């Protein structure tokens, strides 16, 4: 089976284009918006290192944009107990409306992706994606 490698590239391109008007309205660079959305949507990740590793954003871009978000009051840095070298990034009250608006945009984007797809097809797709996600976890753990 041949997998179309254009799909993930196209998905990211269309998503980024969908975010541009909101980023402009909020006066936030796309990377800063992405960082806020990542932290707001994935509470298990809390450090700049997590953003670099999971989102695959270059460390210098993360650093610059985290500094900007802290300076503008969207994020605050807090010490991680037991590790004085690490700080966690916490979304502030000021970030919450941005995250809510971004989540609404994300939901509309996903809904639009499922246009012309029946409920049954959507359910099958989601089930397949969950199974593939589990398979990836198994592979990462050294399984088959």
Q: Which tens digit of pLDDT belongs to each residue from 72-94? A: 999 999 988 877 778 999 999 99
Give the whole-angstrom CA distance, residue 48 versus residue 18: 25
Q: Are residues 80 and 138 in the same domain?
A: no
| pLDDT band (50, 70, 90) for residue 143 | low
106 located within any domain: yes
How many domains are there within the chain? 2
Give the whole-angstrom CA distance, residue 1 versus residue 62: 37
Write down the pTM of the prediction: 0.85
Q: Are residues 13 and 59 in the same domain?
A: yes
Q: Which domain holds residue 36?
A: 6-113
3-class DSSP assignment, residue 94: coil
Counts of helices then strands in the chain (DSSP H, E): 6, 2
87 located within any domain: yes
54 located within any domain: yes
pLDDT of residue 7: 87
Q: Are residues 44 and 95 in the same domain?
A: yes
Is the predicted pLDDT of residue 120 greater than 90, yes or no? Answer: yes
Q: Are residues 97 and 135 in the same domain?
A: no
Q: Are residues 49 and 66 in the same domain?
A: yes
Task: Render 117-141 in DSSP notation, one character per residue.
Answer: --HHHHHHHHHHHHHHHHHHHHHHT
């Amino acid at each position: 089976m041949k997998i179309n490698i254009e799909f993930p590239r196209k998905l990211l391109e269309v998503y980024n284009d969908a975010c541009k008007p909101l980023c402009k309205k909020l006066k936030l660079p796309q990377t800063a918006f992405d960082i806020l959305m990542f932290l707001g949507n994935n509470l298990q990740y809390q450090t700049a290192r997590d953003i670099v590793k999971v989102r695959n954003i270059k460390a210098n871009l993360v650093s610059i944009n985290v500094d900007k978000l802290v300076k503008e009051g969207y994020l605050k840095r807090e010490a991680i107990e037991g590790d004085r070298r690490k700080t966690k990034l916490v979304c502030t009250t000021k970030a919450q409306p941005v995250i809510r608006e971004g989540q609404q945009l994300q939901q509309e984007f996903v809904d639009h992706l499922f246009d012309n797809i029946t409920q049954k097809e959507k359910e099958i797709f989601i089930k397949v994606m969950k199974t593939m996600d589990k398979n990836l976890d198994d592979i990462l753990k050294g399984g088959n």
